[in-house]
Structure 1
């Protein structure tokens, strides 16, 4: 078997082939601080995140609920909808939530693309948000959670930290699986430092809104503080580097 492997490697070299790049897994990116999936710790803090908005039909009632339960959240927004619904973005900021970059056209980066396309998707949303809020967003989430080395480096180039979500907290609410399934996914798996994936753009579905009516009071009852992703990261950094 060793002879076969060695022979194949020699043949590949003689034919001009190169070995594929070694896979860079979650541990690699977490160690380098280039992607964040969750921020475990002793504090009972948890981050609710909402993708694909703004979309007033669902985003506005979500904001009402967050306000009612004194909860903060992070909204990963799509640039085209930012331009459509600037007032909803302004409300998110005014009420102490975090607004982050989720590309301009919700393009998936599961495969390498022209770097100019990737940069444009990030920069156009950044410019749209800066025009409305006066501030540059600091966090980036690739649509679908698809990423590659090229995307990571482009995000870093523009000053972003890439944020995904806790693997045990993917609610799949975009599929409209039923209110109780969304509720159970969050509450049965809640842990300190979780980053929970939800969506505030699910056309013709109010399941996420209805689920939040059960999730928010229960998390509050359990003693969780619902904070932005940046607050979660800052809390971790403060613990690791107290001085």
Structure 2
């Protein structure tokens, strides 16, 4: 049961003195979108889509994804895990050199869905941000919490570090991390493709190359339909000022 009233205040005080984040609270999507603190998608008339890849880099798949993006003159945003960037810095460097965007996805892929210590949240953001800047020469602007878990504390700490939280279009969660089959990934993206989408994929899925195989079909078809695949930064530059129409996430 969620504590209320005096119990909540007492719990918050206890957590604060022990170095943990206050009891996590969240507001509505409309609240965060109106304040520009979280982005799910970017309303626009232009045929632009942002492909995003989480959890890499991966020496087996990220390089193949980069080759495909180059073939179809597509750009993407890679939400990089800091400790993997340390292991494979040359791949992160290639992402930046080829005009893609590198963004922060924590250092250890920590889920912010519990009573995380404030210093741990800060460390997860700061270590990765510093490492990505060092390797790529890019100052990361975007932060994506693993699993999409967030609360007021996470958003505030991201904002203090100059990050905007980027999630994904609810209709463009490919769930490629569970290796659902190449056809399902392809159909998810192509059936639901809309202007201003942010598509969620992963360039590191243990034991799976389905994302790469799906991209071999997705990229040429999106190009044929007249879409241009861009970074999150470019997508944001082309967005309308009006809010998105909220839908059902399931």
Same fold (TM over 0.5): yes
1:132 aligns with 2:99: no
Mapping of 1:58-207 within 5 angstroms? 58-207=61-210
User: CA-to-partner distance for each residue in 1:72-113, whole Å, 9 max, x for gaps?
Assistant: 000000000000000001110011000000000000001241
The answer for the alignment partner of 2:15 in structure 1 is: none
1-side partners of 2:108 and 2:181: how far apart? Answer: 27
1-side partners of 2:96 and 2:36: how far apart? Answer: 26
2-side partners of 1:140 and 1:86: how far apart? Answer: 19
2-side partners of 1:155 and 1:22: how far apart? Answer: 15
Q: Tell me how far 1:22 sits from its aligned partner.
A: 7.4
Which of 22, 34, 38 aligns to 2:37? It is 34
Q: Which runs of 4+ in 1 moved over 4 A?
A: 17-23
For the pair shown, the structure with the greater C-alpha radius of gyration is 1
- What is the aligned residue count? 226
The answer for the alignment partner of 1:208 in structure 2 is: 211
After superposition, the Cα gap between the structure-2 partners of 1:70 and 1:111, relative to the gap in structure 1 and judged at 3 Å, is same
**Contact kept in structure 1, 2:26 and 2:151, CA below 8 Å:** no
1-side partners of 2:135 and 2:71: how far apart? Answer: 25
1:43 aligns with 2:43: no
2-side partners of 1:125 and 1:145: how far apart? Answer: 17
User: CA-to-partner distance for each residue in 1:133-161, whole Å, 9 max, x for gaps?
Assistant: 22310000000000000000000000000
User: CA-to-partner distance for each residue in 1:97-133, whole Å, 9 max, x for gaps?
Assistant: 0000000000000124111100000000011111112
**Contact kept in structure 2, 1:38 and 1:165, CA below 8 Å:** yes
What is the TM-score when the length of structure 1 is the normalising length?
A: 0.89
**Contact kept in structure 1, 2:26 and 2:152, CA below 8 Å:** no
User: CA-to-partner distance for each residue in 1:15-50, whole Å, 9 max, x for gaps?
Assistant: x44699975111110010000000021000000000
The answer for the alignment partner of 1:56 in structure 2 is: 59
What is the TM-score when the length of structure 2 is the normalising length?
A: 0.87
Q: CA RMSD in A?
A: 1.8
Q: Secondary structure at the match of 1:57?
A: coil
Q: Secondary structure at the match of 1:162?
A: strand
2-side partners of 1:112 and 1:49: how far apart? Answer: 28
2-side partners of 1:17 and 1:98: how far apart? Answer: 44
User: CA-to-partner distance for each residue in 1:144-197, whole Å, 9 max, x for gaps?
Assistant: 000000000000000000000000000000000000000000000000000000
